[in-house]
Amino acid sequence: MLFFCSIFLAVSVSALPADTMYGTSGLRANLKARQAQVIPVVVGGPQDTFNPNAVTAAVGDIIQFQFSNGNHTATQSTLEAPCTPLGGGINSGHIPFQDGQTTVGTFNMVVSTTDPIFMFCSTGPHCQEGQVMIVNPSNTQQLLDFVKAAQGTDKSVEGTAIAGGTTSQIELTNAAFVPAPAEAAGPDGGGAPPAAAPPVTNATEPAAENATGAKNGTAKEDGGKTETKEKRLPVLLAF
């Protein structure tokens, strides 16, 4: 049987003209034969992005979305409606990464087409901030168009069920990213503490006391955070 197959293969290969073997169809045959690749894409982190935001993949390859700091999704949309889930499309659901995690949540998506696959993050305003990507973009201009279209939307629509892939976990040490430093990725998203400083009436008075002791009060820190949140809301509403 093996012997027969070998003969059959030999005959088939030698029957192919040279230009077929080295031309386009020959390359396609090679792509089919090659092992599927796992292509990492980092979602979130210090900034709300997909990195990289353009990926070329063959049918059968696996896009492994690795979720860094924040709470993001990889959700399929269209060029026409960049921040709205495509009906029946791919959706990872929300996958958070919090300080101190030693594992990373992943969403493995098997590529089933070489046509462009448009993806966005459905969390809050992330899509409007440009957190989108394309698998197999037609060209560079298409990515620019997609980002611009996303930025031009008012809000995002959440996906529903997880679809088009499987969620899993990998060790942080095997991930394609280093998480943001704990302080920068605080629950408030950073930037809040400076706003709490102005209420001090005169900086000279606390300095006269023992600053080391004053800084150690946990109650004081909590009060500052609460105050900051209350103050930020009206500002957001004003916009």
Sequence-ordered list of residues with C-beta below 8 angstroms from that of 156, at least 6 positions apart, any chain: 83, 84, 120, 121, 122, 123, 124, 125, 126, 127, 128
What does the chain come to in residues? 239
- Window 79-118: contact mask with ligand NAG (x via CB under 6 A): ---------------x-x----------------------
Instruction: Please identify which residue in 139, 168, 216, 226 interacts with ligand NAG, judged by CB under 6 A.
Output: 216
CA–CA dist 104, 65 (Å, integer): 10
The three-class DSSP label of residue 239 is: coil
Indicate whether 194 belongs to the interface with ligand NAG (CB under 6 A): no
DSSP β-ladder status, 95-97 and 62-67: unpaired
Contact between 132 and 75 under an 8 Å Cβ cutoff? The reply is: no
**Shortest reach from residue 162's CB to ligand NAG, in Å:** 13
Q: Does 24 bind ligand NAG (CB under 6 A)?
A: no
160 binds ligand NAG (CB under 6 A): no
Residue 204 in contact with ligand NAG, rule: CB under 6 A:
yes
Applying CB under 6 A, which of residues 202, 219, 234, 236 lies at the interface with ligand NAG?
202
Residues engaged in binding ligand NAG (CB under 6 A): 71, 94, 96, 202, 204, 210, 212-213, 216
